[in-house]
A and B are shown apart, each in its own frame.
Chain A
Amino acid sequence: MADFTLRVNGAARRVSSVAPDTPLLYVLRNDLELNGPKFGCGLAQCGACTVLIDGKPARSCSVPVSAAAKGAITTLEGLGTIDKLHPLQRAFIEEQACQCGYCSNGMIMAAKALLDSNPRPSEREIKQALNEHLCRCASHNRIVRAVQRAAKEMA
């Protein structure tokens, strides 16, 4: 068991008595009470748990907290709030880009990383960036449109 100071959404967050190999996901959800990252498979196959570590998408179900503590972590909550939405969040709402929304966290976080490195991605590039994220309700086309809409707004 060890204590860690995580940099999450720009703030230092102390978590104590956690096994170093604990997947980051459970620390974010249970210690820090963040709802954005979701448990989907625990095997880095579905993308529902995605966060950014130093700006790069990471599957938090498969990153030990000890490793994550070395970087700056961004979760869905760090992008914006209901009153001050990030353009991606606003675009997902305007395009109604989900049914159940359980995968949306991963979609938005992966799209954030994409737009940060490629502000005007083609449809193909968006699909490539999201290809390893699963959506079972099949809102894929809406999600692509939402990312395009956000890219336009942010340009």
Chain B
Amino acid sequence: MKTDLSRRDFLKTGGALVVAFALAPDALGQAKPAPLPGSLNTNRMLDAWLRIDAEGTVTIFTGKIELGQGIGTALAQIAADELDVDLKRVRIVYGDTALTPNEGQTAGSQSVENSGTALRFACAEARDILVNAAAAKLGVAAASLKVNDGACTTLDGKTAAYWDLVADANLKREASAKVKPKPASEHRWVGKSVLRRDIPKKMTGGAAYVQDVRLPGMVFGRVVRPPSPGAHLVSFDEAAVKRMPGVIAVVRDGDFLGVAAQREEQAIRAREALKKSARWKESASLPPSGDALYEHLMTKAKSVDSVVSEKTSATAAAPAKTLNATYTRPFQVHGSIGPSCAVAQWGEGKLTVWTHSQGVFPLRGDLAKVFATDPANIHCIHAEGAGCYGHNGADDVALDAALVARATGGRPVKLQWMRDDEFQWEPYGSAMVMKLSGGLDAKGNVVNWTHEVWSHPHNNRPGGRDGVNLLASWHLEKSSNAPFPVDPPQPTGGGDRNSIPLYDFPNQKVVKHFLPEMPLRTSALRTLGGYANVFALESFIDELALAALADPVEFRLRHLKDPRARAVIEVAAQRAGWQANAKGDGERGRGFAFAKYKNLACYVAVVADVTVDRSSGKVRVVRAVAAVDAGQIVNPDGVVNQIEGGIIQSASWTLMESVRYDRTRVRTRSWADYPIIHFGDVPQVEVVLLDHPEDRFHGVGEGSQGPAAAAIANAVANATGRRLRALPFTPERVKQALA
């Protein structure tokens, strides 16, 4: 895999517009600079975002990473449009601590919003600089030039192209964001379903992933994790493993145990032998499982309580009827198809890591703390991994590889987790409890609403100020501490994400019980708390609608003023052929749900059709229809792909998924212990896009999961008359509910 796009190469490149990577200007002694759009605000130099060389290539730099969500293509579309160049000229460099802007994590469905906005303004300004340079060279007014694929042409046919102007135009300056980006009507690429640039090599066996990085002299590593959280290594047979074929090094540091071997299968065999001979001291540190877990979360776990939203009305009627319901969600995994992997190499005290981390800069910061070195001595380079859907083992395995690579005499180490490493040690999406209460007045309108949510943290990624969020760092002899967990505050929220209703209720109270202690490690899984909160909120709306003898769609609309929210609800209902007050027939049913992700990104409404096999208890989602308002759409097919995938993944979470564990060990080790949706059970999905080209970008990667879950729950209730409030809706649970 070609990975040697080093800073030195850039410096060597003659005649480039940009001769050096530039960070934000030194803020020392300066007044606070004016805010700039998107990530330009924190990476303020134009040349941090793009480079044009004399050969006619435009290179754009993003601190975000490609993880199969298609941002590389979307960002290139934005850049090509603002610069007036052909899409084929645009090359992209993703998260690289030596080359790209620092944009923190690729998370929260914010890549197009943050990086795309920055690139849009940076490229608009760069175009202005280039066109003015062309005008000066050609001796005409800039406004008289026509620009086509970088060639600026005068009325009488004289031309200067961007690539001829590398000596005349200076992009090594702070962005002003004063050049207005193009209106949507002038876009050539944005708004089109351009084919994704990363797919052809993936379909033909090209080097596309960190797993495909091969370096001279590279050897293979594996780790031997403790059998349970909190276990301590007592003894193991180092000598016997060292004698095994191909074994280069056995690395033991405290409770961290790893191995390097010449060949991959030799490393795997050595891992097995180490596992067999290792003796560990274990303790029963895990919470109860099953229904007892939720009682434990509400009553036993240490809680930091806060009121997230409160609204009271002096004029609203007193409730004539009050409903209460408690919903639960278990621990769930990211479950990447490819286990986490990294390649690490040490040389002269410096560390290079190829990683599929979602944040190369935060990872570098945490690695620097573990190795007690300056971050400048560590170079983290993004290479794609399998889809991760949040914070999985990507960062942890980078430290594992770096630890093992210290023992290989400068030879690079490729270390991939085994499937059971990933299932047992990736941070989970937190188990959660949502307790709702709602009051209806005599007319059947909601007058009171409360939502309490109990949740462990959803955001324990690397990059915290104190401590280290990398698994192995806690196992080392000189161990690091994890930072004290912080839940992202509103308006985005973490455990309380999407817990505040968008509906207009006169009295409402939302309370968060943040449970910072994690017997099972948790962190960001797609939507954070949004999936479970929307599941609960939108299930409960249906319960109230039923109590008010109202149609679920009409009931939502009567409590909702936001015209864009109303529009997606109406379009989804219309496209699905929603029939007001239609009842299920005992085996078939239809459900509706809606959310605006984070209450500030895309609007998604979902209609789900399900079948319930009453004898086996199996629920199948047959069809889903979604209406989506994602603001301005860069790549319609990319949006559809995200929404389709989100709905189907959510169907899998909702019907099938929970982590198994006992009081000591995680028992989920393979796909046999953690089934996910198969082809035979995948619903047909239809997605309708409501484009708002005048608006900003709204991320869509996490918009559909919550509504899909609630729509399925509501459809099961519609079909059977029974309400399921505990995820997942396994056949056993369904049979129990129908009994």
Asked, given contacts A26-B265, A100-B387, whether A39 binds B204 with beta carbons under 8 Å apart, the answer is no
Bound complex: CA of A79 vs CA of B264, how far in Å?
26
**Cβ proximity bits B661-685 to A, threshold 8 Å, 1 near / 0 not:** 0000000001110001111101011
The smallest C-beta distance from B356 to any residue of chain A, in angstroms, reads 10
CB <8 Å contact, A35 and B207: yes
CB <8 Å contact, A100 and B68: yes
Asked, given contacts A35-B206, A100-B68, whether A41 binds B671 with beta carbons under 8 Å apart, the answer is yes
Chain A residues lying within 8 Å of B677, measured Cβ to Cβ, are 138, 140
Chain B residues lying within 8 Å of A82, measured Cβ to Cβ, are 200-201, 204, 206
The smallest C-beta distance from A25 to any residue of chain B, in angstroms, reads 9
- A72 contacts B by Cβ under 8 Å: no
Bound complex: CA of A92 vs CA of B209, how far in Å?
18
- B89 contacts A by Cβ under 8 Å: no
Chain B residues lying within 8 Å of A135, measured Cβ to Cβ, are 337
CB <8 Å contact, B680 and A131: yes
- B599 contacts A by Cβ under 8 Å: no
- A118 contacts B by Cβ under 8 Å: no
Asked, given contacts A99-B645, A134-B676, whether A43 binds B202 with beta carbons under 8 Å apart, the answer is no
Chain A residues lying within 8 Å of B649, measured Cβ to Cβ, are 136-138
CB <8 Å contact, B207 and A96: no
Name B670's closest neighbour in chain A (CB-CB): A43
The smallest C-beta distance from A71 to any residue of chain B, in angstroms, reads 20
Name B207's closest neighbour in chain A (CB-CB): A35
Asked, given contacts A45-B671, A135-B337, whether A130 binds B205 with beta carbons under 8 Å apart, the answer is no
Asked, given contacts A43-B670, A138-B644, A141-B644, whether A96 binds B196 with beta carbons under 8 Å apart, the answer is yes
Chain A residues lying within 8 Å of B652, measured Cβ to Cβ, are 138
Q: Which listed residue (B195, B205, B419) contacts A105, Cβ 8 A? A: B205
Name B637's closest neighbour in chain A (CB-CB): A96
- B234 contacts A by Cβ under 8 Å: no
The smallest C-beta distance from B203 to any residue of chain A, in angstroms, reads 5
Chain B residues lying within 8 Å of A103, measured Cβ to Cβ, are 337
Bound complex: CA of A137 vs CA of B200, how far in Å?
18
Chain A residues lying within 8 Å of B680, measured Cβ to Cβ, are 127-128, 131
Q: Which listed residue (B200, B214, B338, B384) contacts A48, Cβ 8 A? A: B338
Bound complex: CA of A92 vs CA of B70, how far in Å?
15
- A62 contacts B by Cβ under 8 Å: no
Chain A residues lying within 8 Å of B637, measured Cβ to Cβ, are 96
**Cβ proximity bits B60-104 to A, threshold 8 Å, 1 near / 0 not:** 000000011110000000000000000000000000000000000
**Cβ proximity bits A28-69 to B, threshold 8 Å, 1 near / 0 not:** 011001111011111101101000000000000000000000
CB <8 Å contact, A100 and B67: yes
- A120 contacts B by Cβ under 8 Å: no
CB <8 Å contact, A99 and B678: no
- A76 contacts B by Cβ under 8 Å: yes
- B347 contacts A by Cβ under 8 Å: no
Q: Which listed residue (B207, B385, B419) contacts A41, Cβ 8 A? A: B419
CB <8 Å contact, A45 and B672: yes
Bound complex: CA of A35 vs CA of B214, how far in Å?
11
Name B416's closest neighbour in chain A (CB-CB): A39
Q: Which listed residue (B203, B416, B682) contacts A89, Cβ 8 A? A: B203
CB <8 Å contact, B419 and A42: yes
CB <8 Å contact, A26 and B263: yes
Name A139's closest neighbour in chain B (CB-CB): B645
Chain B residues lying within 8 Å of A128, measured Cβ to Cβ, are 679-680
Asked, given contacts A48-B337, A127-B679, A138-B652, whether A41 binds B206 with beta carbons under 8 Å apart, the answer is no
Chain A residues lying within 8 Å of B70, measured Cβ to Cβ, are 99
- B212 contacts A by Cβ under 8 Å: yes
CB <8 Å contact, A136 and B679: no
CB <8 Å contact, A96 and B199: yes
Asked, given contacts A98-B199, A138-B648, whether A131 binds B68 with beta carbons under 8 Å apart, the answer is no
CB <8 Å contact, B682 and A136: no
Asked, given contacts A128-B680, A138-B652, whether A102 binds B644 with beta carbons under 8 Å apart, the answer is no
CB <8 Å contact, B387 and A130: no
Name B67's closest neighbour in chain A (CB-CB): A100
The smallest C-beta distance from A84 to any residue of chain B, in angstroms, reads 10
Chain B residues lying within 8 Å of A40, measured Cβ to Cβ, are 337-339, 419
Identify the interface centre among A39, A96, A100, A130: most chain B CB within 10 Å of its CB.
Answer: A100
CB <8 Å contact, A132 and B678: yes
- B399 contacts A by Cβ under 8 Å: no
- A7 contacts B by Cβ under 8 Å: no
CB <8 Å contact, A26 and B336: no
Asked, given contacts A77-B204, A98-B68, A108-B203, whether A136 binds B264 with beta carbons under 8 Å apart, the answer is no
What are 28 A-B contacts defined by CB distance under 8 Å? A26-B265, A30-B263, A35-B208, A38-B386, A39-B338, A39-B416, A40-B337, A43-B670, A45-B671, A80-B204, A85-B200, A93-B199, A98-B203, A99-B69, A99-B70, A100-B68, A100-B384, A128-B679, A130-B679, A131-B679, A136-B336, A136-B337, A136-B649, A137-B387, A138-B649, A140-B679, A141-B682, A142-B641
Chain A positions within 8 Å of B, measured between CB atoms, are 1, 18-19, 22-23, 26, 29-30, 33-36, 38-43, 45-46, 48, 75-77, 79-82, 85, 89, 92-94, 96, 98-105, 108, 126-128, 130-142, 144
Q: A40-B339, A76-B205, A96-B199 are in contact. List 17 more A-B contacts (CB 8 A).
A: A39-B211, A39-B338, A39-B416, A42-B268, A79-B204, A80-B204, A81-B204, A82-B201, A96-B196, A99-B641, A100-B385, A102-B209, A104-B202, A133-B679, A134-B337, A136-B389, A140-B682
